[in-house]
Amino acid sequence: MRATVADGFLVPPLQHDDHVLAATFDATGERVVTASSDKTARIWDARTGEPIGKKLQHDGRVYAATFDATGERVVTASNDKTARIWDARTCEPIGKPLQHDGWVLAATFDAKGERVVTASFDGTARIWDARTGEPIGKPLHHDGEVRAATFDATGERVVTASDDKTARIWDARTGEPIGKKLQHDGQVYAATFDAKGERVVTASEDKTAQIWDARTGEPIGKKLQHDGRVYAATFDAKGERVVTASSDKTARIWDARTGAPIGKKLQHDGPVRAATFDATGGRVVTASSDKTATIASSVRDCSRCTVPIR
């Protein structure tokens, strides 16, 4: 049954033709960009649910899509072995594709928008000049496919997540690893810093997310436990909460200090592939294999305040 505003949703469904694999807000919270197995990314008005501009088209599944800090550009990652930078106003590609030798599963800008870091099935993460599309420095190598890569707020470090069951922190200038490996009992699907760069949160096939001290590499607090693989985990802007996304068809919000769950589960009809806060921490956007994304309040009962994005 097609959900409508009359059913209690904030806006009409935002339609993709296949699984939605990622969804993130821009810095203002006014727009969302989604990535889908239908080979497109799309930009949406987060208030009205209307699409903005034309589809961002790849030749394969689009696994990730994120804005730069200004909201003027989007970077996408695809199994066509490329990442692409796009003008968020015209939806035209900017510069040449960022080329890997395997599927590209993640791509994000640094805080200044000067560089992009990508993660690939070719076993590497790479840093690129966002203006020229040229690689910067040497590849960051894992012993398995690299599923995620993000900068810290200063742009001085990168954290990566890999099928080799580890996350690693790297010096973004030299390409050298910093500290010891962050070890899980299964593939690591995601890894991100908090805003201060003091902690990292990881998400794993072993059904847990874990918070780590970014300086010592030691785990902080108890594991955040799901009933299925955890595909994504990110902090809110203040570092007080973490949101996770799981194959158990739920996203969950957690107290980053105590590890206790906050509120009830955000439920989908299929595995939840991604979940992130907006800049205020007041909303969460989720992306699911049920072909929808939802926008939900993160601070109150969300049962009647989700925005389906199909």
Per-residue pLDDT tens over the stretch 283-303? 999 999 999 888 888 765 444
pLDDT of residue 48: 85
Mean pLDDT (the chain, rounded): 92
Instruction: Please state the domain count of the chain.
Output: 1
3-state secondary structure of 195: coil
Q: Residue 2: pLDDT above 70?
A: no
CA distances from 176 to 13, 137, 209 (A): 45, 10, 25
DSSP string over 28-45: TSSEEEEEETTSEEEEEE
Per the model's pLDDT, the better-predicted residue between 305 and 270 turns out to be 270
pTM of the model: 0.93
pLDDT in tens, 80-118: 999 999 999 999 999 999 999 999 999 999 999 999 999
pLDDT above 50 (res 251): yes
Provide the pLDDT confidence category of residue 7 given band limits of 50, 70 and 90.
very low
Distance CA 12, CA 3 (A): 7
Which pLDDT does position 3 carry in this prediction?
38
If one compares 70 and 5, the residue with the highest pLDDT of the two is 70
Q: Does some domain include residue 201?
A: yes
State yes or no: pLDDT of 26 exceeds 60.
yes
pLDDT digits (tens, 9 = 90+) for 258-269: 999 999 999 999
**155 found inside a domain:** yes
Burial of 92 per CB tally in 10 Å (0-12, 13-18, 19+):
exposed
Higher pLDDT, 294 or 245: 245
pLDDT on residue 305: 40
If we measure between CA atoms, which residue out of 1, 9, 64 comes closest to residue 273?
Answer: 64
Q: How much is the average pLDDT of 143-169?
A: 98
Residue numbers of the domain that contains 113: 5-297
- Asked if the model's pLDDT at residue 4 lies above 90, the reply is no
* CATH code, domain with 239: 2.130.10.10
- Decide: 125 and 146 in contact? Cβ < 8 Å: yes
Q: Which of 17, 59, 5 lies closest to 42 in space, CA to CA?
A: 17
Residue 14 has what pLDDT? 67
Which residue reads 């003027």 in tokens? Answer: 72
In a domain, 308, yes or no: no
| pLDDT per position as a tens digit, 216-236 | 999 999 999 999 999 999 999
Q: Is 302 within a domain?
A: no
Coil, strand or helix: which one is 5? helix
Question: Is 69 in contact with 101 (CB distance < 8 Å)?
Answer: no
- C-alpha–C-alpha distance, residues 121 and 119, integer Å: 7
Q: Does residue 304 fall inside a structural domain?
A: no
* pLDDT at 1 exceeding the cut of 60: no
